[in-house]
Chains A and B, each alone.
Chain A
Amino acid sequence: MWLKDRTMQRKSKNLKSQLFKVGFFFLIVGILVFISTPLRKLKEEVFEEMRLAIFQLNINETNNTTINNVNTENLEVTSENTEQAEANDKKANYSYIGELSIPKIKLRRGFVSKESRYNNIEYNITVANEANYPDVPLGNFILMAHSGNAYISFFDKLYKLQIGDEASVSYNAVTYNYRLTNIYNQAKTGTVAIYRNPNVKTLTLITCTHNDDYNQTIYIFEEI
């Protein structure tokens, strides 16, 4: 009888211990699943900081370069030069050509050229095909990105912006400063109508409306 009790006790202890282990395992898995998205976002931020640091480094190197006595006789293009240029071009597509900065929401993010395969909403802030680069007089520089909770939601805090907030774009070693002048929503139909002053250089940011699955918000900035 006593032996039976002891065996029963041991069995229930083992069962409890096993249940505890299984519970602990599921708890760890749950925590990992729960923190995976924020961790990916933080990782993306850390990588972004480094990409921007490399971008700034390259800008400084470009600024320090001086061109003297350009010899126009050797401008003939050989096949070897073309191959090298293509290789360089491929490599250049991986790096940023400019940077968007909005101090109010602590947004600092680079963008690649329109031709780059990384000019895609799944990788970066995307430069719209219809956009003019910031150095074009009276042009409209259009950028698009996701908003939401994913780690690629680069415009997740745009909804906090108010009229009068400032943004800047660094491009070709020149910084262009803008001020927010208009915010409006449009239904998600696949196209966006941009209402802007054609006599001023503008920056347009497009993203999904905060907590709204059917609309997109357009932020119009004018150059200061």
Chain B
Amino acid sequence: MDLSIIEKLITFITLPFQSFLTIEILLIFLLILIFLIYNEKRQNKKVKYAITALIIFFFSLLAFYFSEDIITVLSEIVKTIMRCFYFPNIVFYILTAIISLVILIYTILKNNLTKLNKIITYVLTLIHLYLFTNFISLAITNNTSLTNTANIYQHDNMFIIVLFSQIIFIILILYKAIYHFCYIRHSKLKNTK
């Protein structure tokens, strides 16, 4: 951790030659890269499929050998997402409120959005911001320190407010994502016609 820049670079360069396994891994990746570059000229379909199969096989092999670790990592990822949803820390919660605020301001200022889209966005963002403001006022009245997450969620009413505002936030983000996806697809179809 406390290495100088030159030491970091030397370590990085010598890293692939530390053992037979690391050399082998390097060779596999180089081979795949060479095949892919070479095939860009030839455009051979068989090579394309063979390399795709090789990559899938290689990563399946890795997944097979390290299956337990992969399951642990996946569980940790899911748990982190669940933590962010059920018990977000104050930084994450403030970040969602800022995103909501930005979306609201963008929607107010943007002229070429449909009326329905604007109304749905106003409703969702304002509910989210209202819940956030409520949360802050509750924290002040309960004299709760927001730095400790456990301190926040020992109050049932604060837990409920955060839970509902997270649900609203997810609906807002999903709505925006689906709307933009459909909008892009619609405009692409229009262009092709």
Contacts and interface: CB of A to CB of B under 8 A. Distances in A.
Contacts of B86: 43, 46-47, 50
A38 B148 CA distance: 28
B75 A42 contact: yes
Contacts of B83: 46, 49
Interface stretch (B3-11, B17-25, B111-119, B150-158): B150-158
A53 B148 CA distance: 10
Contacts, number: 32
Interface size class of B (residues with CB under 8 A): 10 to 19
A45 B154 contact: no
Contact of A43 (B82, B148, B150): B82
Interface string B74-88: 010011001100110
B148 A57 contact: yes
B153 A50 contact: yes
B149 interface: yes
B87 A46 contact: yes
A46 B149 contact: no
11 contacts: A39-B78, A42-B78, A42-B79, A43-B82, A43-B86, A45-B79, A49-B83, A50-B149, A50-B150, A53-B150, A54-B154
Interface of B: 75, 78-79, 82-83, 86-87, 148-151, 153-154
Given A46-B87, A53-B149, A54-B153, 10 more contacts: A38-B75, A46-B86, A47-B86, A49-B83, A50-B149, A54-B150, A54-B154, A57-B150, A57-B151, A57-B154
